[in-house]
């Protein structure tokens, strides 16, 4: 990631992508070559970009007692988990499946936090047996059940309560989680009572407090407001005689999809730590759960133009990636930049297209009203596809999930093979 002075400027929102001699390169590899070798649709990730994103958090938290627990729901491919575990990360998990993924790459159980509103008893048992670092509890009922499960197994469960601070993260309603109307966390007005209750229950040991207000947050203000609410609560909970050892401040930091300007992770943490210091909480252990901001801009999806279909109202550019591969546009009307792998000639004719997939739904689009100079058979890259794309991919329309590559400088490694059709119906019977 150290471009030489002659390296052309990186693309917006993709610090590791640039055109060289008219070819889109990821780190030092021409992407068209990777598409030719491995087929499309194809996810490609930059190792350097992931580590650079992590380094911003590590800089921001340097000198503090802090642990970055990567929220693997953003991208749970084993090679990505392994990379982040080796770089010192713990993990934020939300299911027994994610727990097994973390263990499969050798994660230390003590560096795992278990979030989610609906943990089953079986999942609680698994997590207790391996000794996860903390359960982030989201309701009074969950406290009671975890107490029962832990006591029955002879365990003591370390817990924090996820408080809902009623702060507007000013993001898409589906990914805003810290408002009263959201299903997440315990309302901050009820949090003290929940902590008092937790302290009376056998099999539980209060260790921290937790808060996560949403995702794709592009301003500091909601974080600063939420931090104030959390610190007010820590003061009240400790005054009630319940010590709080760590503050888990969740994830949620946004990335640049379309000119978005979220604060850099280190600058955000400078502001948050200044607040913690000013209020006397600077020495408290800090956990964070970033997902998207570690991997989102480190990945792209390569796709081939199958057909161009001019229409009276719309022109369609039909590509071989679809909503099953990249569900974010269909789910949230999310914007992902789309660029050609071969730079168009200066005099090429540009047409406005809706870029759509082959799936039989009008909601199957990847980009709307995009100005592109493309021809049938050409390759495109959908940017900012490292987070919540492969991890949310499905087999709708009996489409095998794409392959994934991890690029490191001049080499690329297959980290997930393209699914085969027999993979798709292995569990079925007639």
What lies within 8 Å, CB to CB, of 293 at 6+ separation is 53, 251, 253, 254, 255, 262, 265
Which of these ranges, 43-51, 263-271, 276-284, 287-295, lies near ligand LLP under the rule CB under 6 A?
287-295
Residue 126 falls in the annotated catalytic set:
no
Distance of alpha carbon 296 from alpha carbon 216, whole angstroms: 10
Residue (of 177, 229, 198, 199) closest to 73 by Cα position: 177
CB of residue 265 to ligand LLP, shortest distance in Å = 10
Residue at token pair 């009240």:
236
CB of residue 70 to ligand LLP, shortest distance in Å = 9
The CA-atom distances, in angstroms, between 362 and each of 174, 302, 357, 399 are 21, 21, 9, 17
User: Quick one: 263 or 290, whose CB is closer to ligand LLP?
Assistant: 290
Per CB under 6 A, 325 contacts ligand LLP: no
Instruction: Single out the residue of 75, 76, 115, 207 in contact with ligand LLP (rule: CB under 6 A).
Output: 115
User: Quick one: 175 or 372, whose CB is closer to ligand LLP?
Assistant: 175
Residue (of 407, 319, 391) closest to 33 by Cα position: 407
Per CB under 6 A, 251 contacts ligand LLP: yes
Residue 19 is encoded by which pair of tokens? 């055109």
Residues in the chain: 430
Which of these ranges, 139-147, 194-202, 290-298, 301-309, lies near ligand LLP under the rule CB under 6 A?
290-298
Binding mask 146-185 for ligand LLP (x = CB under 6 A): -----------------------------x-x--------
Binding mask 329-348 for ligand LLP (x = CB under 6 A): ---x----------------
Site residues (CB under 6 A) for ligand LLP, limited to 72-91: 73-74
CB of residue 43 to ligand LLP, shortest distance in Å = 15
133: which DSSP letter?
Answer: S
Residue (of 291, 278, 272) closest to 227 by Cα position: 272
Q: What angle do CA 18, 23, 25 make, to 5 degrees?
A: 40
The catalytic residue positions are 360
Q: Please report, as ranges, the residues that interact with ligand LLP according to CB under 6 A.
A: 71, 73-74, 92, 115, 175, 177, 212, 215-216, 250-253, 289-293, 328, 332, 388
């Amino acid at each position: 990631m150290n471009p030489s002075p002659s390296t052309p400027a990186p693309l917006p929102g993709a610090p590791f992508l640039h055109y060289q001699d008219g070819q889109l390169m990821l780190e030092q590899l021409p992407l068209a070559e990777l598409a030719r070798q491995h087929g499309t649709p194809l996810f490609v990730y930059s190792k350097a970009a992931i580590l650079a994103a992590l380094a911003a958090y590590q800089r921001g938290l340097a000198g503090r007692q802090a642990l970055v627990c990567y929220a693997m729901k953003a991208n749970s491919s084993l090679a990505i988990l392994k990379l982040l575990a080796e770089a010192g990360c713990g993990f934020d998990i939300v299911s027994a499946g994610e727990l097994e993924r973390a263990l499969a790459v050798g994660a230390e159980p003590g560096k795992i936090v278990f979030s989610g509103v609906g943990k089953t008893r079986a999942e609680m048992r698994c997590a207790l047996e391996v000794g996860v670092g903390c359960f982030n509890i989201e309701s009074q009922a969950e406290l009671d059940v975890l107490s029962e499960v832990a006591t029955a197994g002879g365990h003591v469960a370390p817990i924090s309560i996820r408080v809902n601070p009623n702060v507007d993260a000013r993001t898409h309603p589906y990914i805003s989680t810290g408002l009263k109307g959201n299903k997440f966390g315990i309302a901050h007005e009820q949090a003290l009572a929940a902590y008092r209750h937790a302290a009376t229950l056998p099999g539980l040991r209060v260790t921290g407090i937790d808060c996560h207000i949403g995702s794709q947050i592009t301003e500091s203000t909601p974080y600063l407001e939420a931090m104030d609410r959390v610190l007010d609560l820590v003061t009240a909970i400790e005054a009630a005689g319940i010590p709080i050892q760590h503050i888990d401040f969740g994830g949620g930091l946004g990335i640049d999809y379309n000119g978005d300007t979220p604060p850099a992770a280190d600058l955000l943490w400078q502001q948050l730590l200044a607040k913690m210091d000013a209020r006397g909480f600077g020495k408290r252990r800090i956990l964070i759960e970033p997902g998207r901001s570690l991997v989102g801009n480190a990945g792209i999806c390569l796709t081939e133009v199958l057909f161009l279909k001019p229409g009276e109202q719309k022109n369609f550019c039909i590509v071989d990636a679809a909503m099953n591969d990249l569900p974010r546009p269909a789910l949230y009307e999310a914007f992902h930049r789309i660029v050609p792998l071969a730079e168009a000639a200066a005099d090429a004719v540009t047409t406005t297209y809706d870029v759509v997939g082959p799936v039989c739904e009008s909601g199957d689009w990847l980009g709307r009203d995009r100005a592109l100079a493309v021809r049938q058979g050409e390759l495109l890259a959908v940017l900012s596809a490292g987070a919540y794309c492969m991890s949310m991919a499905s087999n709708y329309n009996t489409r095998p999930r794409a392959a994934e590559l991890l690029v490191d400088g001049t080499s690329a490694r297959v980290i997930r093979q393209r699914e085969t059709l027999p993979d798709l119906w292995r569990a079925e019977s007639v």
